[in-house]
Structure 1
Amino acid sequence: MKKVSLLMIPIVLSTFSLTPVQVKKQMNIALYQYAQVNTSVKKWEKGQLPTSKVKTDPIQKNVYTNGKLAKIKGITLSKDRKTLTLDHVNRPHDELMISQLSGDFKIIFKGTNRLRSLFVIAANKKAALTIAAKQNGTLLCDDQQDVFFGSRAARLYLRNMKSVHIENNVNMHLYHHNRDLSTLISYAYPKTGSGLQIDGTLTTSGRVYRKLDQSPAHTSQTMHYLSYGDAYNDDDTGYTLPYSLTIAPHKV
């Protein structure tokens, strides 16, 4: 009997150790710098670098992670961790990614801010994102090198939030130098969400879009893409637009 009981103890302990621990996901903000990737790919295109030496992963720099905020010029986060302000940020090769949002969040632009792209991803389909501006706040996404891989092609990438609201005072210009890398805005939201609301005017190639219609609903999300072209597609890709897009305030 003693031998049997001793054998059972490690089995019970092992089973207990496999019980998953629920850990609350925390918001994370990071910058992904593509300068070295751009340089590497350009050299490869010119035959100056072998394929095996091409860099494909950007350098990551944490802005806010594990409850700690790094000091980065022009980027501040409110004490309640619900408002991120970009004040004359000049990082044209950097993608700013905000992930694991679990509640309402606001991004404010002050002055002219240059980024490669802006990615915002929610964790639980309950977050509402607001993009606003102060002091002629502008966002320019216009990386001259324009090297992308996969979903990184999007200039504005929004995922899983119940709503996204770009206020009327925001100036935003999204641009590609390469027509083959054409996605400008890519966003998806739960069926229970209300999608993307842009109070300003979308302008491209002389055409003005005041409102975007929803593309056909998917099983779990409704998808929208703004890409190269000028027509609505019936294959669930939604509206497609040329590779330069401006979101501007309404003219009075």
Structure 2
Amino acid sequence: MSGPDFLDTPQGRRLAYHRTDGVGPCVVFLGGLKSDMEGTKAIHLEAWCRAQGRAFLRFDYSGHGQSSGTFEEGCIGDWAEDTAHALNTLTTGKLIVVGSSMGGWQSLLYARAYPDRLAGLVTIAAAPDFTEDGYLASFTDAQKAELEANGQIAMPSDYMEPYIITKRLIEDGRNNLVLRDPLSLPFPVRCLQGTADTAVTTETAMRLLNHADSRDMRLTLVKDADHRFSDDTCLSLIEQAVEEVSALPR
């Protein structure tokens, strides 16, 4: 496969992306925290869309994958700017946005800002507000003191090497919360969640389901699926969710 194309943002960041031409609505994949556009779900969805002649876009946020910057420099708001610029510059017409983990939060931020662009939304282990309700809520007094004193702490992960969480990430996350105020999703929404996910709980999935205002929103719980949500069964469920929101009348 050829290398990515690049898009410069108004903030001076350079985003790597792969775009596939085809019929709309264009399917856009938004990856998770510290993941990249070369992951199993992104690549599988791209191949599936290409086989069906569907338009598709995947890209790396700044500080991720092949895009410019470092992870430690970034925050939720930066990645929301990246997402908005990529989608508004590289696509036209209606979109079906597929957001995984932190990408689920990003998809909700984009939907809140540009509701008319979405034909449908699919979330996979969506993690809205995780900086506040996950990280900060679980920090010990010692970790909070370290964050205040040093501006960052190292966090372990069940799915990758430990990574640095900065004070800026926490504070900026507080400015981008989506579960505190009304959240209108005026299009079909399908949420997928594994019951064995140790990074995002089923309680988070239920909280999003109960909080959002949507005329057609459904949550599918998959027994024993973990946060990766990348085995054959899970990938098939993602395909089905995209097909379902594609087929529904607008």
Which gives a bigger RCO, structure 1 or 2 (Cα 8 Å, sep 6+)? 2
Q: Which has the higher helix share?
A: 2
The TM-score normalised by the length of structure 2 is 0.28
- Larger-gyration structure (1/2): 1
TM-score normalized with structure 1 length:
0.28
Structure with bigger strand share is 1
